[in-house]
Structure 1
Amino acid sequence: MATVLIVEDTLTQAEIITGTLRGAGFTTSVATSSEDAKVKLAQQKPDVIVMDVVLPGESGFELCRELKDSPDTKDIPIVLCSTKSGEMDKFWGMKQGASSYITKPIDPEELIRTVKLLVK
């Protein structure tokens, strides 16, 4: 099954996302910051990245833009997840190169459906 890198600094949210995706048959790994995500990406390329927008240090928006600008990671779909639910936030996330934008609290069915669509 496909692998998903989850970039989430809140332990509870990381556990919810991880549990949801593992329950749907995905292999997951978790990074707690942009820096941690870069280290994990250097070791292994996931099929999809599920990323929080608000992260310590570099934001999810910044990391998304950086990953989309890099030849090594530009083809990896990114799902941004955030409590920022305004239309402008969603628009800005998509403008950074995200494939999808999901608001928190996470709807497990929406998350699974979105990740499955991006893996195919």
Structure 2
Amino acid sequence: MPIKNILVVDDSPTERYFTVDILTRAGYHVTTANNGEEGIAKARSERPDLILMDVVMPGLNGYQATRTLTRDESTSNIPVIVCTSKGQETDKIWGMRQGAVDYLVKPLNPEELLQRIAALA
């Protein structure tokens, strides 16, 4: 399945801007959410082809949001890549256990991000 629409879930305006810029320059259509709750709502309503999920956010964190999305029948087919500053091996393992298909540590490398997305298509 080609990836065209990507949902970026991140509470940092700077990180959202940086990620959206990378993705739009690469030709993707991007929508954003400011937190886990909004990310879940937008995933359910907009059905993106991919979700890039931050972890450290107020309210519902990225691990909880990823777990909710990957276990919900209506969104379980949408791949989630965790994109976070949490770079410990245990963080990565936990993120993958929540249902993420990949895990990237910030600061994001634009080329690596685009390669990981292309690998999913």
TM-score normalised according to structure 2 size: 0.94
Q: What is the CA distance between 1:56 and its match in structure 2?
A: 1.3
Q: How far apart are the structure 2 equivalents of 1:61 and 1:38?
A: 12
Q: What is the CA distance between 1:109 and its match in structure 2?
A: 0.5
* Aligned twin of 2:98: 96
* Aligned twin of 1:109: 111
Which runs of 5 or more residues in structure 2 are unaligned? none
Equivalent pairs counted in the alignment come to 119
Which runs of 5 or more residues in structure 1 are unaligned? none
* Aligned twin of 1:48: 50
* Aligned twin of 1:87: 89
Q: Which amino acid aligns with 1:41?
A: A
String of CA shifts for 1:62-113, please: whole Å, max 9, x gaps.
Answer: 0101111100000101000111111110011001100000000010011111
Give the alignment's Cα RMSD to 1 decimal.
Answer: 1.0
Q: How far apart are the structure 2 equivalents of 1:107 and 1:60?
A: 20
3-state SS in 1 of match to 2:58:
coil
Contact map agreement 2:54 2:82 (CA 8 A) in 1: yes
- Alignment counterpart, residue 37 of structure 2, candidates 35, 38, 50: 35
Percent same amino acid among aligned pairs? 37
Whether 2:22 is the aligned partner of 1:17: answer no
Q: Which amino acid aligns with 1:89?
A: D
